[in-house]
Amino acid sequence: MTPHDLHQRYMTTRQKEKRFIRLTQLAIVFALVIGWETASRLALIDPLLFSMPSRIVSLLYEHIVAGTLWLHTGVTMFETVLGFLLGTVAGTLLAALLWWSKRLAEILDPFLVILNSMPKVAIGPILIVGLGPNMTSVIAMGMLVSVIITTMVVYTAFKEVDGNYLKVLQTFSASKWQQFRHVVYPATIPVIVSTLKMNVGLSWVGVIVGEFLVSKQGLGYLIIYGFQVFNFNLVFMSLLVIAILATLMYMAVERLEKRITEHHR
């Protein structure tokens, strides 16, 4: 059997495995939805508190037709994407600054650990007072929850770049910038892209919490409003939309990671 045949067999096996995993995932979701609907209709669980999938889908359709869902979804997506990008870029730049100056890294290291251990949600009221009860404070919240962890992960990756490559450049009198540009940064691109996947969830958490506190629009606002008027169908509908959007955002980052990985092979 030729290497080409072996490769084709391997790819066929991989495709079958992926197909099996997807079908299993769909089966699990389908079983959970049917079980939820059945339990709610038979009053095994409180239908007022836990709602049921049919009611959630019906309410989702009503909001789509009325156009209100697009308004709230658009606001939350804008805040999340912007907070996501700002958090990743700011964290990467701060990590580069720490790599550039070892003295600065030693000074800031304990503060980064303390900030990372602090509950970011607790800083929300401070942001609201400082930036005002508006979209800016929500975006800042989405950025804040991801910037510190991004800094720590990317800075660790910068430090772990093989020092032999840097020594080679140093023998040719390469500047600090040239070492970073030609060795450190390219070597850690996969880590930076992987950090994006982690920041997807963090940014959604930050933005939704921010909308809980100040927003009059967005999916977070719909959740709080649903709780206030005991409309749990609205709460579950908002959670469903968030889950779908977060999944799509995660898949987009995964595709970006795959392309970059293939490009650097």
Judged against a pLDDT cut of 60, whether residue 227 lies above it is answered with yes
Tokens of 193: 């892209």
The fourth-level CATH superfamily of domain 51-263 is MetI-like (1.10.3720.10)
pLDDT at 12: 75
Judged against a pLDDT cut of 70, whether residue 265 lies above it is answered with no
pLDDT at 237: 92
pLDDT at 3: 67
Give percent of the chain above pLDDT 70. 95
Lowest average pLDDT, out of 15-24, 167-176, 195-204, 209-218, goes to 167-176
Judged against a pLDDT cut of 90, whether residue 28 lies above it is answered with yes
Judged against a pLDDT cut of 60, whether residue 177 lies above it is answered with yes
Q: 144: burial class by Cβ within 10 Å (0-12, 13-18, 19+)? A: buried
Residue type, 256: L
26-231-207 Cα angle (round to 5): 70
Mean pLDDT of the chain: 84
The dihedral built from the CA positions of residue 140, 143, 147 and 148, taken in this order, carries a sign that is positive
Give the pLDDT confidence of 137-148 residue by residue, as tens digits: 888 888 888 888
| 5 — pLDDT class (breaks 50, 70, 90) | low
Q: How many other C-beta atoms lie within 10 A of the C-beta of residue 198?
A: 16
| 239 — pLDDT class (breaks 50, 70, 90) | very high
Closest CA to 145 of 78, 200, 197: 200
| 163 — pLDDT class (breaks 50, 70, 90) | confident
The alpha helices in the chain, defined as continuous H runs, are 3-41, 47-50, 53-66, 68-100, 102-117, 124-131, 135-159, 163-171, 176-179, 185-187, 189-213, 219-228, 232-263
Say how far apart CA 138 and CA 144 lie, in whole Å.
Answer: 10
| 186 — pLDDT class (breaks 50, 70, 90) | confident
- Token pair 């990008």 is found at 85
